[in-house]
Structure 1
């Protein structure tokens, strides 16, 4: 009995964790599809994301496991017509009330969803080969503040959209094999292309805003992918839209991997007798960088844990401050005598 209670408590805690983890994003955002996405688009988005974040491919990566749970939970709702309708009208609270009133809301085991979708055993299967349009890669500069705290960027996107057009076209073409008689008892194998007649289509250019989420600690070159938002392909699926993240220059800090570097100028007097000084960080907390001792020109001091957050981690890099000493451009004879008397 105690074992059953423990197991039930674990399931409840896991479900609460998943629901709280995705509270900040809609299920559509999690699957990276538009709200009006078709069932096929939702299935393809789930396939790609589930394969990417599956625990078998990301062993030891807690963040990937969380993502897999989010993706599976979102797919369970959006792939069910009744649940999706309730979610669209009333949100997560509506789903909870629906489940409490006896509706189908108990949910499925995450691995069961994956196994049903990809086949028994939950193994990693190769995706079926479908003709695909070109991927679009956009180089995107993210501010150091967004990379430190997390944020989002709205980017204007223009692309070709398939629209209906007058007439018919050849589609779903395939090669069929048949045998042609070329003499008594002699046949030759022939191949013929057979096509169907489909409604005609044309490309039209349309524009819209895309919201790109910048995660804390993302490194230069990492990508945020919007599946099937690249170049479209007739009788196939669109390519992907990939935003490649780069760190934008900053007025105070310079990023080097997970570390930050800053250069601070102090006076000669401050270098000799010490000083009190604080540096405003990217989230506006203050880092005390002063000292009571002597500071040499070009001296570098390390402030542990004040660098960039590591992606998918609670750890942080370090901050390195280089001190530039501002020397006077000239001295009077009395000043020279005083300094010589003190330091001589």
Structure 2
């Protein structure tokens, strides 16, 4: 009886795990960040961009990126195949598994990830595809505060750009050269090239504005970019460029950044320099850093405080804080003060 109860409990736990994993799993459309109604070209463009972004060569040691890359490859392998996509849309992943088990073409079984990637980025048939026209990338220099770069934050930025809208009338579009052969005699053929175009709705550009939220990640360096794909300048019969916010550290009133290190200058009196002092400085997240001394501090002396610098991007480590001490000398001394100093230091 006890064995039966344990077996029943195990079955229930397995069923619960399966249900939770099914709920948590992203759809293939979510993985590629496209709507369910996306065209083949939209799916192809989304795959190309995401696969480049999360490719292991660009994200060495980043397990999360490697996991995303595998998800992207798997999603594209299904959605780029009309038969598999139809099965997935109707029956989901379970339908693909049954299709594969019944002798279909796989539902992801036996897929060579590198072959799929090569088809787009070298060494495969993609090299023979006609190059897609792309609009201009827009690069914006974005000043980020040291506080945001230290703790992470976000900035709202107003963006204005051209947007393609429908206009009255029709136009020639999607023009391409097609090759055909014409017989000019017995066993003789002439190769001919003809431009073939489609008829599309006419379009026009209109100016629109909206706010974009730019996320600043902890430890980002000057020159790093936050990219909004397809949000650059549009182009008719092509894909839009990208919008890139290039990070630039804004000046700060207490700290100066050099790579992953911070530098600060603190002024102390001559008395403090000679006999020691207790002092703290407020850091970027407002925690207090003890910079006091019990000994003598020389003018221009630099003290290194390990681990009090900037966080490294995608790391738990931090740089160092370097504090330079300026000693404030008195403008003048009385004869009595001079005598006392001579008595002490003489």
**TM-score normalised over the length of structure 2:** 0.73
Aligned pair partner of 2:266 in 246, 264, 267: 264
Count of aligned residue pairs for this structure pair: 298
> Is 1:207 matched up with 2:209?
yes
Worse-superposed segment, 189-198 or 272-281: 189-198
Q: Distance in 2 between matches of 1:330 and 1:286?
A: 34
What residue is the counterpart of 2:191 in the other structure? 189
Conserved 8 A contact 1:135-1:241: yes
What residue is the counterpart of 2:112 in the other structure? 121
Q: CA deviation at 1:195?
A: 0.9
Worse-superposed segment, 232-241 or 290-299: 232-241
Unpaired segments ≥5 residues, structure 1: 85-102, 110-114
Match of 1:39, SS state, is coil
Q: Distance in 1 between matches of 2:69 and 2:328?
A: 54
* Alignment RMSD: 4.0
Q: CA deviation at 1:37?
A: 9.4
Q: CA deviation at 1:337?
A: 1.1
What residue is the counterpart of 1:93 in the other structure? none
Conserved 8 A contact 1:133-1:233: yes
Conserved 8 A contact 2:73-2:113: no
What residue is the counterpart of 1:64 in the other structure? 65
> Is 1:168 matched up with 2:170?
yes
Conserved 8 A contact 1:232-1:238: yes
What residue is the counterpart of 1:100 in the other structure? none
Conserved 8 A contact 1:45-1:227: no
Q: Specify whether residues 189 and 149 from structure 1 end up closer, same or farther in structure 2 by C-alpha distance, changes over 3 A only.
A: same
What residue is the counterpart of 2:320 in the other structure? 318
Conserved 8 A contact 1:165-1:200: yes
Aligned pair partner of 1:218 in 220, 227, 250: 220
Q: Distance in 2 between matches of 1:310 and 1:166?
A: 54
> Is 1:48 matched up with 2:67?
no
Conserved 8 A contact 1:170-1:198: yes
Conserved 8 A contact 1:254-1:260: yes
What residue is the counterpart of 1:94 in the other structure? none
- Which has the larger Rg? 2
**TM-score normalised over the length of structure 1:** 0.74
Q: Distance in 2 between matches of 1:213 and 1:71?
A: 23
Q: CA-to-partner distance for each residue in 1:179-211, whole Å, 9 max, x for gaps? A: 567789876433221211111011101011111
Q: Specify whether residues 150 and 46 from structure 1 end up closer, same or farther in structure 2 by C-alpha distance, changes over 3 A only.
A: farther
Unpaired segments ≥5 residues, structure 2: 1-9, 98-105
Q: Distance in 2 between matches of 1:336 and 1:31?
A: 78
Conserved 8 A contact 2:149-2:217: yes
What residue is the counterpart of 1:39 in the other structure? 38
Q: Distance in 2 between matches of 1:191 and 1:274?
A: 88
